[in-house]
Amino acid sequence: MPFSDYKTALVTGASSGIGAAVVERLRRENIEVHAVARSADALQRLAERTGCIAHAIDVTDRPALARLASDVEFDILVNNAGVDRPKKFLEAEEGDIDLLVDVNLRAVLHICRLIVPGMVARDRGHVINISSIAGNYNFGGNSTYHATKAGVAMLSNQLRLDSFGKRVRVTEICPGRVATDIFNHVHGNDPSVRERFIDGFELPQPSDIADAIAFAIAAPVAMNIGHMEITPTLQVMGGLQTAKPQSPYVPGGGPGGQAR
């Protein structure tokens, strides 16, 4: 659909990075953008810069989101909010698992529950779920994150099935490494973090992801761009590792292969 068919948008995780870039991009199309994030100060600066409507709401605050969804009919939904606590699952902590499931998956499910039925009833709407290459590929130390993003990928497919026959389009955006401050949020606000993840790399900018989202939204009504994987040209996924055993295998042995 051309942008002129859409009037309103909800963007979560909007205070910085990809979320803020999406707000800016949609505002350039004269969309009324409701920007949701926890940081009231950052949202206020974004509102002053772009003219968006700021809502300092945590995406896990279901009553607040329900009130917003009942007040506004949203044509575009961009589920962007997300967190990570990099850790091997063998070292996972209860609080980290709950946080990632609550923000990365449960919040997306509930926001879609609140908004997508209205899109179906109006025969108009576009859901953008920003997941990650972590939903499709494995790399060490992000086990719970992988699981939640895979859930978002499956939800994106299922939304198209459940809204079949209506002009509700669903696009899953799967970024690889992007030059945002998420790495500081995850690994600590230290210059070494930027050196490790950003400096010296040729990376897409948040505005590049926002432009890709705009491309999907502006596609003809008969066209749904269901899945976009966006990575740096100099980033690849995959690989093969084979480990040697740490101790010889002993049939019937106990821990470490020792015979009982």
Distances (CA, A) of 198 to 86, 87, 130, 184, 201: 17, 21, 20, 10, 6
Mean pLDDT of 98-105: 97
What mean pLDDT is predicted for residues 211-226? Answer: 97
pLDDT > 70? residue 188 = no
Domain around 124:
3-257
pLDDT at 183: 61
HSE (side-chain half, CA atoms, 13 Å) at 209:
32
Q: What is the CA radius of gyration of the chain?
A: 20
pLDDT digit string, tens, across residues 59-89: 999 999 999 999 999 999 999 999 998 888 8
User: What's the whole-model pTM score?
Assistant: 0.90
- Indicate the range of 1-5, 113-117, 138-142, 170-174 predicted with least confidence: 1-5
CATH of the domain at 80: 3.40.50.720
Instruction: Report the SS3 class of residue 35.
Output: strand
| In contact, 162 and 112? CB cutoff 8 Å | no
Number of structural domains in the chain: 1
Q: Which residues carry out catalysis?
A: 145
- Cα–Cα distance for residue pair 163/51, rounded to 1 Å: 32
pLDDT of 93 > 90? The answer is yes
Are residues 18 and 80 in contact, defined by beta-carbon separation less than 8 angstroms? yes
